[in-house]
Amino acid sequence: MNIIIDGFNKSIHKKDNQIIIKEKENILDSIKASHISSIVIIGKGYVTFDALTLIAQNNIKLISFDYFGKLNYILESPDWRNVKLKKLQYQLSENKKGINIASEIIKSKMINQKSTLTTLNKRKKIPEVEICKRNISQQIKELNSIKLANNHEKVKMKIMGCEGKSSYEYWSAIRLLIPPDIGFEKRTKKPTDLLNSMLNYGYAILASEITKSILINGLDPYCGFLHFDMDNRTSLTYDLIEDFRQQIVDKTVIHLINRKRVTTDDLDKRNNSIKLEKRKLIISKIQDKIHSTITYNGEELTYAEIINNQSNNLVKAILNEEKFKGFSLHW
């Protein structure tokens, strides 16, 4: 079981073998620790020492994100396993195979961008959206033409260049597919409009699922193949999240906006964050999406299972020289 704790004045306690979640003095939930695999905190509160001990004894990962999707911390019980895997991961992040993985991730992201636009424009049939889709197809061709040379930094910059152009076309099309009064102009991590605020919040929830899968499979979330290493950034999380943003978060929040389930009245203008009640709605809808079932590669799988499989596939690519394939859906 995965638990997400959102908001303020929340706290985590221990009673016997149970994790108790409170809001001020009110008990919100009581769950047997052995039934919990991870706890994700998005907000402010505290955890008692006894609860931390119980969390560690049951190998529960405690992960905290801020409202903009930045990882605050990961707490987990001591892990002396997977030394070989992590050593190879660090080596691959600096060689040709790592660049292959980065290229595959971005190609899958572009395919998912096209697929998402196809779904969203199915009824509206806006010609400009179709032009953006064709431009994304051109960037896929450009990406496929990049020759993987020994200068990994230069190749990585070319890959990111294709990604940037594709994303420009994608968000230009999205702007045409949502109400103009939302005030969306472009994708930004420092939002002043409703859509960007919702996206940032949704990506934080998705990032927690990605990071959990990375940790469970023994990988280092701070060592990526696509995004450059930076202090305090989980680069591998931001690598693997690229292929899941569109299907899980973008479609969900755009659906909520177009159905007027969330409006500009739900944006707190003081800090451009989503008000608490609507954050709960976003959490619920994205969690529903993560645990919804689709047919993928001939199997009925939830997105959560696919996310975990992608982390596991990355492990196989690192350890067993298997080819890593990104996640994409064609419509």
| Sequence-distant (≥ 6) Cβ neighbours of residue 234 within 8 angstroms | 71, 207, 211, 214, 221, 222, 224
**Pairing status of strand 71-75 against strand 2-15:** unpaired
> Domains of the chain (ranges plus CATH)?
2-65 (3.100.10.20), 83-320 (1.20.120.920)
In tens digits, the chain (331 residues) has pLDDT values of 778 887 778 999 999 999 999 988 899 999 999 999 888 887 778 999 999 999 988 888 888 877 655 667 778 766 555 789 999 999 988 788 889 999 999 999 999 999 999 999 999 999 999 999 999 999 999 999 988 766 677 888 899 999 999 999 999 999 999 999 999 999 998 888 999 999 998 998 899 889 888 988 889 999 998 876 666 678 999 999 999 999 999 999 999 999 999 999 999 888 888 888 898 899 889 989 999 999 998 999 999 999 999 999 999 999 987 899 999 997 6
Alpha-carbon span 54 to 50, nearest angstrom? 6
Buried b (16+ CB within 10 A) or exposed e, 35-60: ebebbbbbbebebeeebeebbeebeb
SS3 42: strand
